[in-house]
Amino acid sequence: MNQQKKTRTEIKHEAIIDGAIREFSAKGFRRTSMDSIAKAAQVSKRTVYTHFNSKDELFAFIVKKMFSITAESTKISYNTHIDIKTQLLCFARAEIELAKGQDYRALVRILLAECIYSPELTLGVIAEIYEKEEDLDLFIKDAIADRKLQTVEATYAATQFKGIIKGIAFWPQVMMNAPSPDGAISEQLAQDAVMMFLSRYAAQTESINTP
């Protein structure tokens, strides 16, 4: 099947987004200008303003787009016919791979800085993102209903599970520029995260031995 050819407007829109991501990643929000974004995207400044009314609007669009992509890459939906350990292990591996993305880390660093210097810009965007219930929260609720997990507040348990992973495979890299864990360590981290989570929350009828 032939793919629909992109229009010139769509091509320019993507170029602006790509250029803005490179500029924000390299310079941060405050030192990036619409002029530098236009230059990076190889379009006119007027074209940038045709697509986005301001740098704030462009930044907010990118943040939402990046979080949408990350949510899709770690998508999880509870399946009663598949062992819960297997399902959580797939999620943990995807979360670890996501954490290795340089653009994702750079965006988080910018967000952290702007939460201090421009809270009115970032906090509203972050609040809008977190208004939507995450897939892992829903997964945990469904697993509780299926009596595979003990009764627990889903967001609390999901945050704990992701915290085990990000405490080793994300935050040290973001805050201290530590190297990403290699394949063997990544797999061990995924296995351990699932084991620890199920050791606390698995229903008594469930085995906690990770496959």
* Buried/exposed 172-198: b ≥16 CB within 10 Å, e otherwise: ebbeeeeebbeeeebeebbbebbbebb
Tokens of 159: 């945050």
Residue 17 half-sphere exposure toward CB, CA atoms < 13 A: 14
Residue 103 CA to residue 184 CA, distance in Å, equals 23
Reply yes or no on whether the pLDDT at 204 is more than 60: yes
Higher pLDDT, 123 or 44: 44
Q: Region 155-166: what's the mean pLDDT?
A: 95
Tokens of 78: 């509870």
Residue 33 CA to residue 58 CA, distance in Å, equals 11
54-69 pLDDT, tens digit each: 999 998 898 888 778 7
Can you list the domains of the chain with their CATH numbers? Answer: 7-53 (1.10.10.60), 60-201 (1.10.357.10)
Higher pLDDT, 203 or 211: 203
Reply yes or no on whether the pLDDT at 24 is more than 90: no
Most confidently modeled range among 69-73, 103-107, 171-175: 171-175
Contacts of 173 (CB under 8 A, 6+ apart): 99, 105, 179, 180
Is there a contact between 204 and 95 (Cβ–Cβ < 8 Å)?
A: no
Reply yes or no on whether the pLDDT at 1 is more than 50: no
